[in-house]
Amino acid sequence: MDPRIEPADSIDTSWGSSRRECLGRLAGGFLGTALTALLSGDGFFDSPARAEDPTLEPKASHHPAKAKSIIILFMYGGPSQVDLFDPKPELQKRSGQAMPASVLDKGLQARNPGTLLGSKYAFRKHGKSGVEISELFPHLAKRADDLAVIRSLRADSFAHGSGLLQMNTGFVRQGFPSLGSWVAYGLGSENRNLPGYVVMLDQRGGPISGPPNWGNGFMPATYQGTPLRSSGDPILHLTPPADVSVEQQRNQIELLRSLSRDDRDGALGARIASYELAFRMQSSAPEAVDLSRETPATRSLYGLDDPRTEPFGRRLLIARRLVERGVRIVQVYSGGGHNDENWDAHGDVNRNHELHCGETDRPIAGLLADLESRGLLDETLIVWTGEFGRTPTGQNGKGRDHSPRGFSGWLAGGGVKGGQAFGRTDDFGYAAVEDVVHIHDLHATILHLLGIDHRLLTYFHSGRDYRLTDVSGRVVRELIA
């Protein structure tokens, strides 16, 4: 809540030193008093929430939450389960043969008639629990006892667009609020100086379909995800234009307040208060993404000392800083753009996954270790998934096609029963056959860990109450500690 003044040379932004100092003073001085007056007592935040004046005021959960925040690691493109978390001896043994007809369904036959392709990578049991993890994740493997690996995820779509939408919103169709919007709507935000729901995209670009993946759907814009960049201006329009100093802007806000002195009630007062908040965000958001005060050890933990892991590691380190500052939902994408810029390994799964695993393995393990050492792992839920998995059969020889019938993901941290592999796919890793966890079930479980009963979190729209989990969803108790 109390943004500190950082050394002037700390980050690479257009912020000059004088401006930075100014901002720091502002935060403690003018804004300190103005905001205290505005926000305390019967001010803006205590006004009753109406559908028309959506707020991010913190709200009570349905039941005691196991996790206060959630970091969603989204492996866009679709990581291959049989190369990462789901070892299949039978697949290795019968590599090169046709997939048995008993396993196939029409969808796969139509799309990709390739033959079985064994994984190049060795799996070993790790940790006390002996969870099996591929050699592609040597660092993550050391955190095996933290992970509740789900080997039986199921999605409904073969295509990236609708697949991303479903993992993010529960629906394959467009127009529905994302998981983060539901959480923001259900729980509000703990930090008034930062957006409650933050999305960090890959340096190579966003996922396809773009903003609807973190959109508010039919809810008010208050609940949409705010894209946060890990370099430059973290939030759109956060910094004033180059020739406008913070001191100038302070004068502007003071004039705005002075000319609006009669606007105290409801919507009018709330609008003026939103400028004060925006102003505060100008100091707290750069502070949140400023990694200069992180120790070399921490930076190294996230792989910031290696150009390969630096971009993703930086995002994860920022994610930790955001969570520390009370941001409720942080979604971090690995992979953007097209083809091998993300996990969409149609051409050569080994080359593709060596690249993306190499970029993310150390940072993710670092995030888990760092959260643990700061006592945050117990109250932060980490979710790792893609929009679907990949086929056990080959495509173009060495590649793998999309496969939503059975794929892997994992949960760790707040409230999660780590050190287990849950669910099972068939002998080849194509379809989930035991303890199937549909995306609705995953969402129900995530909401449960955050203290929300997915059946009760509803939003009235177009004549009926909608839910993240539609008319489905089951809390997977086995994944909960």
Partner 1 sequence: MPARYLASLAFLVAALDPTAARAAAPALSRIEPPGAAAGSSIDAKFIGTFKTTPFRVAVEGAGVTIEPRGAKGEARITVAPDALPGSRWVRVYDEDGASEPRPFIVGSLPERTENEPNDEVAKADPIDRLPALVNGKLEKSGDVDVFAVRVEPGRTLVASIDAYSHLGSPLDAVLQIVSPEGFVLAQNDDHGGFDPLVVLEPKTSGTFLVRIFGFPSTADSSIRFAGGESMLYRLTVTDGPCLDQAIPARITPDFAPVELLGWNLTTESRRIVPRTDPTDEGFAIVAHPSAARVIRVPRDAARVVDESAASQPLPVPSSLTGRIATPGEVDRFTMRLIKNDRVRVRVSAHRFGSPVDPTLVIRDPDGKVVADVDDSDRNDRDLETVVTAGRDGDFRLEIADLHRRSGPRSLYLVDLERIDPDFSVKLGAHQVVAEAGKPAKLALEIDRRDGFEGDLEIRAVGLPESITAPTVKSAGKGPNSKKVELVFESKLPSSTTVRVEARDAKGRTRRASTKIGTIDRPLYDAFLTFKPTPPAPKTDPKPKDESKPKSTATTPAPADLGASRIGVASTHWSFRPLGRPTPPVAKGRAPGHPIDAFLDAERDPAAGPVAADADRRTLIRRLFFDIIGLPPSTDEITAFLVDTAPDAYERLVDRLLARPEYGERWARHWLDVVRYAETNGYERDGAKPGAWKYRDRVIDVLNRDMPFDQFVVEQIAGDELEDARPETRISTTFLRLGTWDDEPADPLVDRYDQLDDVVGTTATAFLGITLRCARCHDHKFEPFSQAEYYRMLAVFEPLVRPQTDRIEHQWFVCSPDEWNTYRSEVVRAAGNSGAFGSGASASLPLIPPPPDSAYIWREDGGTPAPTRIFRRGDPTQPLETVEPGVPAALGLSIPERRSMPSRSSGRRLRLARWIADAANPLTPRVIVNRLWQWHFGTGLVATSNDLGVMGDAPTHPELLDWLAREYLERGRGWKAIHRLIVTSSAYRRLGSTADDGALAAFPIRKLEAEAVRDAMLAVTGELRFRRPGPSVYPEMPRAVLEGQSRPGEGWGRSTPADAALRSIYIFSKRSITLPELDTFDTTSSCERRPRSVTAPGALTFLNGEFITARAKAFADRLRREIPGGSPSERVARAFELALGRPPTPHETTESVRFLERQARLIAAESRRDDAGEAALASFCLVLFNLNDFVMMR
CB of 159 to partner 1, least distance (A): 5
Place of tokens 């970029």: 359
Q: Which is nearer to partner 1, 26 or 165 (CB)?
A: 165
Q: Which is nearer to partner 1, 195 or 303 (CB)?
A: 195
Q: Which is nearer to partner 1, 263 or 324 (CB)?
A: 263
Q: Which is nearer to partner 1, 278 or 433 (CB)?
A: 278
Nearest CA to 456 among 165, 56, 439, 448?
448
Chain centroid offset of residue 93 CA: 37
Q: Which is nearer to partner 1, 304 or 452 (CB)?
A: 452
Dist CA 193 CA 5 (whole Å): 16
410-438: string of b/e by CB count within 10 Å (b at 16+)? bbbbbbbebbbbbbbbbbbbbbbeeebbb
Dist CA 397 CA 115 (whole Å): 9
CB of 354 to partner 1, least distance (A): 23
Neighbours of 236 (CB within 10 A): 10
3-state secondary structure 297-309: HHHHHCCCCCCCC
CB of 433 to partner 1, least distance (A): 21
CB of 282 to partner 1, least distance (A): 8
CB of 293 to partner 1, least distance (A): 24
CB of 201 to partner 1, least distance (A): 6
Task: Give yes or no for a contact between 326 and 190, defined as CB atoms under 8 angstroms apart.
Answer: yes
Q: Which is nearer to partner 1, 21 or 90 (CB)?
A: 21
Q: Which is nearer to partner 1, 147 or 450 (CB)?
A: 450
Dist CA 239 CA 187 (whole Å): 28
CB of 383 to partner 1, least distance (A): 21
Q: Which is nearer to partner 1, 138 or 220 (CB)?
A: 220
CB of 387 to partner 1, least distance (A): 11
Three-state DSSP class for 431? Answer: coil
Strands in 1-89 per DSSP E: 69-75
Run of H or E including 227: strand 226-227
CA distances from 238 to 232, 275, 282, 409 (A): 10, 12, 6, 34
Nearest CA to 340 among 391, 295, 399, 392?
399
